[in-house]
Structure 1
Amino acid sequence: MNQEIRNKYEVVIGLEVHAQLQTESKIFAADSASFGAAPNTHISPITLGHPGTLPKLNRKAVEYAIKMGFAAGSKISEYQYFDRKNYFYPDLPKGYQITQDKTPICIGGGVKVKLSTGEKVVRFHHIHLEEDAGKSLHAEGSSDSLIDYNRAGTPLVEMVTEPEIKSSEEAAQFMTEVRKLVRYLHICDGNMEEGSLRCDVNISVMPVGSKVFGTKVEIKNMNSIRFIQKAIDYEVVRQIEAVEAGEKIIQETRNFDPATGRTSGMREKESMNDYRYFPEPDLVPLHISEDLINQVKAQMPALPWELFDKFTKTYGLPDYDAGVLTDSREVAEYFDATCQFTKNYKAASNWIMGTVKSYLNDNHLEIEQLTITPEKLAQLINLVDEGKVSTSTASQQIFPVMVTDTSASPLQIAEAKNLIQQSNTDTLQSLIDEVLAANPAKVKEYKNGKKGLLGMFMGDIMKKSKGSADPKVTTALLQKTLDSL
């Protein structure tokens, strides 16, 4: 698209993010909410909406929603009731969805995102609780639809942003931060591929400076951050070209095809009146007590930006290190725990981002499965700082043993394998003298300006010492000896 035409329009984006809550059971029934079971095995008369069945609210789902509200800085509603949202899909067994319309559990708040142009807070309009629908499956080559009701009734928080996102980059960064946040809170696994975190994208365009939003379209069930970006970028161009051509944008629901990178119309978008909301008669109103608020508040972990500030200000880490370490709550907590046993915070960061991460990746493990405790890792870091072993020796010879021998300390392993560095100057001087005496021609070349031979001499000395010579002490002593010849 011509950039001059693109610059005439402003993009307005709002996201509706659905996060499946990691409760053991569903929001209104005792059926299992776990993922991956055989189709239609996690169901009951309540899930299927049989006549005479009554829902009962899952307390844990309420607590998780409050956690999300606290993390976002939202106001928690004291009094709430649930509503029936009436619409028919084949995978919505009751023919209506129990949700919150007029009284969402969380009001306002927002999430800070880092953009190429700086930082911005994307605000929430509200966060509400609701139940998920089932899933329609369409077998290739068949005209039939298969329905799996396992997901029906799984608890969701729907996070509705204000219509203030301005680009696909901003939307992607927002989703990245939300995914990180729900994982930190342990309320959702954030797995977009499995659909436990997904979003609907509402998007419109309007002339720059206009106060009136254009007609919005909704792109449903986006389960990839990359696809969200692609869908927005395509839709922006499509809508601007349509407006430029004098066409009318239809308020509709659209689908995104990852194979083509295009959106296509599915159906005209329902209006609020079509849903015929009314209070759910089978659930009593919900009162959030001060005791419950305090209980949930006591369970809140340190949040990503709080740990980022701690790592940069208290531990003096560069922003890059702090960003990598706080990407995962478990990694951040492991690093923080390691820093309780060593003062070399940068070395702890390097070890976790380097050797530890490589080991975990190679063995397909998460850091909580690492057999080396933060205290033991700190002992290894301190062993290097004390000059008893080199970094390479610690990484290549001691760390692998620590993984399998959890009882021995790094010092015990180093002593058992005869890895303690030799820093006694008399012993080192004898080794240096032997190596130089065996290479008189090379010594002469060094004295004539071929300073690169220093590495060769060091290599021979390390071989003679079987790797136990302290490199720093040895290098200084070797240079002093050569200079005096």
Structure 2
Amino acid sequence: MSQSPSNYEAVIGLEVHVQLRTASKMFTRVAAGYGQPENTLTDPVVLALPGALPVMNKEALDKTIKAGLILDCTIAPVCKWDRKNYFYPDSPKNYQISQYDQPICVGGSVEIELPGPSRNVMGEHKKIPLTRIHLEEDVGKLNHGASDSLVDYNRAGTPLMEIVSEPAIHSADEAFAFLTALRTAMVQGGISDCDMEKGQLRCDANISIRPAGETKLGTKVELKNLNSISFVRDGIAHEIRRQIAVVTSGGAIVQETRDYDGQTGASQSLRSKEMAHDYRYFPDPDLMPVKVDEAWQAAIRATLPEPMFDRQRRYMDQFQLPYTLTSVLVPQLALGAFFEEAAQLSGKPQAAANWIANDLLRELAAAGVDLAGSKVRPTHIAGLVKLVESGIISSNSAKEVFVEMFATGDQADAIVGRKGLQQSTDTGELERWVADAIAADPKAAAGFRGGNEKALNAIKGAVMKASKGKANPQLVDAIARKQLEA
């Protein structure tokens, strides 16, 4: 008798290719880049002309070591280069320089956060172990037309990391969280821009299912052409459902490679994969092994950014920020640094965080500019917070000040002075406004005296209207209570 879908467990391993952000390609001085006319970023090394020899790009090695340190990998004391032999038009040499049995990074993990019960609640955190990270050169790109296929070698030779996870992911949500966290770590480390539309981050997923409680791996299916993180999640969810449907109907999973179409949500078989390819790896005779000593590692370790989730935990502990604010502030290093400076200058971390996460990001999005292009700097936020906290302006007036501050770049106190937005703290004037409001609304006054706290809002609202919003709300509240209780 077949099992129900809930009795199956998915087992997923990801192979993630990350293009490094370097000035030049992996084994030549020719520029690395995107969007240039076809076949202009080439030279004799890229095109594999006779006699052209490779020379290693140290920046690419530095960034791969940095990626490994960020992800808690063991950095190999010696790594070497191998030729991965295959014949395909995107590889002009008919082999790819890669790393086979001695990769530069071994082990490590990626910390992920799974969706919580709501957007306002932190989800479960866990670490997904990695098998390895190795460094290689990218291949060219085939552009398929109606009657022909053309190859562009601009991408060929670009430094490329392959980050391989253990088969330790068990849901589409976990895969999505893995890629999101990995992408953030690589961007924050300055290692890659990870733009999937430009091919800077590419992912293949190996997916199998097995009965719950089983330890043996099932027959795996490789899913390709997952060209956005959302499509990775959707494609894996689709493949898990497909495999369960096959097995529960009495069929068997065939080891194959499938193509997933994110637009239609369907997949199709590309080719069967009965056994591993024999790439006939052998050491590259033109490249020497690389020794990575402790001094090299230490120099790179000194440049590591604080991990995103460590920073989030620190913000919650040190600044007493709620999860909702920290989850907005930590994904961008620049935004986190902006907040920390504003928090220090204002002395009010939560107030500064609220202005940044809500008002500043809203205005930036509406204006279509990034943080670097904003006229509002941490000193502006701190100045505005101090004006509100000291009671010089009301919260409503502060909203008006912020919009003006964003548009002009003027400091908050200058805008307040120019617009005359200071709150009135003249108790004599406030007492007259309160007395007039009580006299004008005896029903509200009687309601408050009868125990209806909400009735006081009508009195306070009348005072704020009379003062054109300049009355200090706290003083109005205190004076109104005193007069009504007299």
| TM-score normalised by structure 2 residue count | 0.91
Q: Which of the numbers 387, 409, 412 marks the counterpart of 1:410?
A: 412
How far 1:193 moved relative to its partner?
A: 2.6
Aligned to 2:118: none
Alpha-carbon distance in 2 for matches of 1:246, 1:425: 83
How far 1:272 moved relative to its partner?
A: 4.6
1:360 aligns with 2:364: yes
Question: Is the 8 Å Cα contact of residues 110 and 181 (structure 2) preserved in structure 1?
Answer: yes
Relative to structure 1, is the Cα distance of residues 204 and 443 closer, same or farther in structure 2, using a 3 angstrom cutoff?
Answer: closer
Relative to structure 1, is the Cα distance of residues 270 and 49 closer, same or farther in structure 2, using a 3 angstrom cutoff?
Answer: farther
Aligned to 2:17: 18
Aligned to 1:446: 444
Alpha-carbon distance in 2 for matches of 1:87, 1:430: 89
1:309 aligns with 2:313: yes
SS in structure 2 opposite 1:124?
A: strand
Deviation digits for residues 3-57 of structure 1, max 9, x if unmatched?
A: 9522343221100011111112111122222222222222222212222111111
Relative to structure 1, is the Cα distance of residues 291 and 146 closer, same or farther in structure 2, using a 3 angstrom cutoff?
Answer: same
Alpha-carbon distance in 2 for matches of 1:32, 1:270: 39
Aligned to 1:284: 288
Amino acid at match of 2:352: A
How far 1:248 moved relative to its partner?
A: 4.4
Q: Which of the numbers 466, 470, 473 marks the counterpart of 1:471?
A: 473
Alpha-carbon distance in 1 for matches of 2:436, 2:197: 63
Greater alpha carbon shift after TM alignment, 443-452 vs 216-225: 443-452
Deviation digits for residues 109-149 of structure 1, max 9, x if unmatched?
A: 1012223583321000001111111211223xx13112222
Greater alpha carbon shift after TM alignment, 243-252 vs 449-458: 449-458
Amino acid at match of 1:480: K
Q: Which of the numbers 409, 424, 427 marks the counterpart of 1:422?
A: 424
How far 1:375 moved relative to its partner?
A: 2.4
1:375 aligns with 2:373: no
Structure 2 gap ranges (5+): 116-122
Question: Is the 8 Å Cα contact of residues 441 and 459 (structure 2) preserved in structure 1?
Answer: no
Relative to structure 1, is the Cα distance of residues 310 and 8 closer, same or farther in structure 2, using a 3 angstrom cutoff?
Answer: closer
Question: Is the 8 Å Cα contact of residues 183 and 329 (structure 1) preserved in structure 2?
Answer: no
Relative to structure 1, is the Cα distance of residues 477 and 27 closer, same or farther in structure 2, using a 3 angstrom cutoff?
Answer: same
Aligned length: 475
Structure 1 gap ranges (5+): none
Alpha-carbon distance in 2 for matches of 1:246, 1:443: 78
Alpha-carbon distance in 1 for matches of 2:215, 2:436: 85
Deviation digits for residues 431-484 of structure 1, max 9, x if unmatched?
A: 334555xxx4x4222234387675554444334434322122123223433444
% identity of equivalent residues: 39
Relative to structure 1, is the Cα distance of residues 429 and 278 closer, same or farther in structure 2, using a 3 angstrom cutoff?
Answer: same
SS in structure 2 opposite 1:123?
A: strand
How far 1:345 moved relative to its partner?
A: 1.4
Alpha-carbon distance in 2 for matches of 1:400, 1:446: 35
How far 1:239 moved relative to its partner?
A: 2.5
Alpha-carbon distance in 1 for matches of 2:179, 2:109: 12
Q: Which of the numbers 243, 251, 271 marks the counterpart of 1:267?
A: 271
1:124 aligns with 2:136: no
SS in structure 2 opposite 1:7?
A: helix
Alpha-carbon distance in 1 for matches of 2:457, 2:320: 34
Greater alpha carbon shift after TM alignment, 154-163 vs 452-461: 452-461
Deviation digits for residues 400-454 of structure 1, max 9, x if unmatched?
A: 3333444x53223212221121112122223334555xxx4x4222234387675
Mapping of residues 138-153 of structure 1, within 5 Å: 138-139=144-145, 142-153=146-157
Greater alpha carbon shift after TM alignment, 417-426 vs 353-362: 417-426
Amino acid at match of 1:402: M
Alpha-carbon distance in 2 for matches of 1:21, 1:373: 31
Alpha-carbon distance in 1 for matches of 2:407, 2:235: 47
Aligned to 2:101: 102
Alpha-carbon distance in 1 for matches of 2:63, 2:274: 30
Aligned to 1:83: 82
Alpha-carbon distance in 1 for matches of 2:212, 2:457: 64
How far 1:208 moved relative to its partner?
A: 3.1
Question: Is the 8 Å Cα contact of residues 131 and 164 (structure 2) preserved in structure 1?
Answer: yes
How far 1:244 moved relative to its partner?
A: 4.4
Amino acid at match of 2:63: Y
| TM-score normalised by structure 1 residue count | 0.91
Deviation digits for residues 336-382 of structure 1, max 9, x if unmatched?
A: 22122122211111111111111111011222322222122112111
Question: Is the 8 Å Cα contact of residues 363 and 406 (structure 2) preserved in structure 1?
Answer: no
Amino acid at match of 1:164: A
Deviation digits for residues 301-332 of structure 1, max 9, x if unmatched?
A: 11102211210111111222222211222222
Q: Which of the numbers 232, 253, 261 marks the counterpart of 1:228?
A: 232
How far 1:219 moved relative to its partner?
A: 1.2
SS in structure 1 opposite 2:340?
A: helix
Q: What's the C-alpha RMSD, in Å, of the aligned pairs?
A: 2.3
Relative to structure 1, is the Cα distance of residues 212 and 470 closer, same or farther in structure 2, using a 3 angstrom cutoff?
Answer: same
Deviation digits for residues 257-305 of structure 1, max 9, x if unmatched?
A: 1233222121233855521111112211111132221221111111102
Aligned to 2:110: 111
Mapping of residues 6-405 of structure 1, within 5 Å: 6-115=5-114, 118-139=124-145, 142-245=146-249, 247-269=251-273, 271-272=275-276, 274-396=278-400, 398-405=401-408
